[in-house]
Structure formats: structure tokens, C-alpha cells
Amino acid sequence: MRRLLVAQTMKVCATGVLLLVLVPSTVLAQGLERLTFAQAIERAVANNPTIAQATAGIMRAEAVLQQVRSNSLPALALALTTTFTNPVKFDTVSIVPVVQTQTIPTFALPILTPVAWAQRNQAGDQVVVSQRTEKDVRRQVAVAAAQSYLAIIARRRVFDLNSRARDNARDHFMFANQRFQGGIGSRLNALRAEQEMLSDETRVEEALLLIQLAQEALGVLVGANGPVDAVDYPVFDIPDELGQLTNRTDIQLVMERERAAQRVYSDSWKDRLPSLNSVFTPSVLEPPGAFAKTFSWRAQVIFAVPMWDSGFRSGEKAQRLADLNVIKFERANLERQGASEIRTARDAVASTTRAFTQAQLATDRANQVVQITDVAFREGASTNIEVLDAQRQARDVETQAAIAEDALKRAQLDLLVALGRFPQ
């Protein structure tokens, strides 16, 4: 039995040493690209395809504006018509030739087009809305990248804690097994120490997988072809100001949407205004025939007044008012939510700061307990169970400290986002 335990011990120790060498290299090496916090945000904003889609939306709005603007500007068209018909002759004079070609250029000049002018201004508003949308998408992508970056750091902290706990458990197991082999310890103590070491190995593997998942998420956000690693926790500069909601891109976006909807509704009366257009149409006919001139022209001034539309414009105005009210309600709710987010984020920063301070103190005390208990066990003044309990408690306390630090960083990030200060 003792020989079997020795063989198992050697196998476990060899496996542990191999993991100790390979696991850190798996996490930090493997050719992973490593970015600072600022680099990750910059890469995400520059390369994320979601932002490219928003930029395409700006281009589309500008193209629509160009199309709408053309309706109120002069236009020139050219038509060329060739007619084949039975010839008509009177004696030897050709009345209608067999083949006639008519060239008709048309020049149109809008003089009074209130509806087209209103639509041009409305299309310009949509360009501004698209620009605000692009800025808000940039904010969303930057926040997502920041959260993924913080997740990598936090999960690495947990990985380091579990690795250190595993190493401590391995040292304790080797010492307990040496005592058992020397005949002054019990097999029960050795088995307990081995069980703790194997449990810590499991936690190390779980933490390693979580790091890899977070690295993959960050790689997708920054537009990389593989996982991307983080360097270290960023330092956030928390302002003392109360904050203005108008600094937030989502508030700016809904305000622009409301202005655009207000303009569309306010321009409803222009749909009933008359319009005045002029058209000049010269014509060149070749050959002319007996009763037609080679060159002729026609000028028109068209004055149109909308009279009766069976309620179409009234219904359109009511729809515009409904759309405006929806956006107003959305803005009111968003402003109320934004103010709540600022208050909540400030409370969270204060609370997590206190929690992190207490967690650091608890970590220091737990590590002291481990050292004292381990020394006492080696001197025979404490039991194996006390050492294992102290190690577990130290690991749990350090894990809570890492979680508290991550919560503090996330709360600081949320406050900056709520204040409209991230990204700069």
C-alpha cells in the first residue's frame, strides 16, 4: 500500500510541476497580441465592423440629401426621337417624310417649391442624426471592449490566486507525505492534502478557460483574427462634477431625432402651399416637312395649387405628431434613466471602494493565519485540518478581494459612461 501511495505521489508531483511550467505560458504566451487599455479601445473603435456599418449610414443619409436637394434645383434633359412612317406627298412636295428625327432638350427651373425645400431641410436633419448614431455606436463598442478588457484582468487575478493556492497545497501535500513516509505522519493527513491539491488543480483549469474566452471576446471586438490579451488594470480619472446628460451620445442622439421629427411635423402646413415651376423646351426637326419648322420652342410656367386630397395630408400630419410624441417620451425616459445611472454609479463607486479596502485587509490577515498555521503544523502544534482550512479561507478571501477590485473598476467605468466621459 505504501509503495502504491509513493508511486501516486510521484505521478501527481510530476503532473503538478508540468502544469506549473506550462499553464502560465499557455495564458500569456502562445503568440497572443497584448494591448494596453487605451490601445484596445482605439483598435475597437477603428476596426469594429459595427462602426463601419454606422459610417455607411452617414454616407446613405448624405446620398439621400443630395437626391432630395436636386428636386429644387434646375435640371436639363435631352430626348432624341426618330420616327419612321408612310410618306405623305402633295404633288412633288413632301408633307411627311419617311424618316424624321426630332431633338428636344428640356430645361426645368423650379421657382417656388416649398415642399421640396422642406424635404431638403428634413434630409439634412437625417444626416445629423446618422452622425449622432455613429458616435453612439462608437461609445457602445468602446464600452464593450472596456468590459471585456477588465474581464481578462479579473479572471487572470483569479487564475493567479488559484495557482498560488495550488502551489501551497502541493507543498503541504509533499510535506505531509514525507511525514507519512517517515513514519511520523498519518495517511489520512496525506490524503487530505492530496485532495486539496487536486481540487485546486481543477480550479486552475476552470480559471484558464475563462481567461481564454475573455481573450477571444476582446479579439472579436478589436477586429483581430485571434484572441487578444490584456496588459494591466487601467487607471480611471473620476471627475467630481455632477455631470451633464447632454454629454452622453445616446442623449445627443435622441435630441437630434426629436429635432428632426419636430421639423417634419412643423413643416406639415407647407404641403398645402402652391408651387411654381418653369419649363423651356426647344425642338429641332430634321427634315422638317411642308408644315413644320426645323426649329421651334415652347416655354411654360406651371402654377399648381393643392385643392382636395380626401384627408391624406391631415392623416400624414397626425402620423408625424404621433412619431414626434413617441420620441419625446423616449427622450424623457432616457434622461430619467441617465440621471438614475449617474446616482447609482456614484454610490457603487463609493461602496466598492470601501469593500475593496476591507477585502485587502482581510487578505492580509488570512495570509498571516496561513503562515502561522503552517509553521505550527510543522512544529506539531496544529492539525492538518487547521492548515487546510486556513489555506481555503485565504484562497476564498483573496478571490473576494480580486472580485472586489474588479467590481470597483467596473463601477468606475460605469460612472464615466453615465457621465458621458467615456470614451473621450
Segment 143-163, tens digit of pLDDT: 999 999 999 998 998 898 888
Q: Is 402 helix (H, G, I), strand (E, B) or coil?
A: helix
- d(CA 410, CA 92) in angstroms, rounded, equals 98
Contact 227, 32 (CB under 8 A): yes
- d(CA 265, CA 160) in angstroms, rounded, equals 60
- How is the chain split into domains, by residue range? 2-418
Is the pLDDT score of 5 beyond 50?
no
The predicted-structure confidence for 222-232, as pLDDT tens digits, reads as follows 988 999 999 98
Q: What is the mean pLDDT of residues 30-47?
A: 89
pLDDT at 149: 95
- d(CA 143, CA 145) in angstroms, rounded, equals 5
pLDDT at 91: 67
Rg of the chain over CA atoms, in angstroms? 39
What is the pTM assigned to this prediction? Answer: 0.80
List the grid coordinates of 118: 422642406
- d(CA 424, CA 416) in angstroms, rounded, equals 10
Fold of 2-418: Outer membrane efflux proteins (OEP) (1.20.1600)
Q: Is 272 helix (H, G, I), strand (E, B) or coil?
A: helix
What average pLDDT is seen over the chain?
86
User: What stretch of H or E contains 338?
Assistant: helix 312-378
Distances (CA, A) of 419 to 132, 252, 414: 17, 13, 9
User: What stretch of H or E contains 275?
Assistant: strand 275-286
List the grid coordinates of 310: 380626401
pLDDT at 124: 96
The predicted-structure confidence for 172-191, as pLDDT tens digits, reads as follows 778 778 778 877 777 877 78
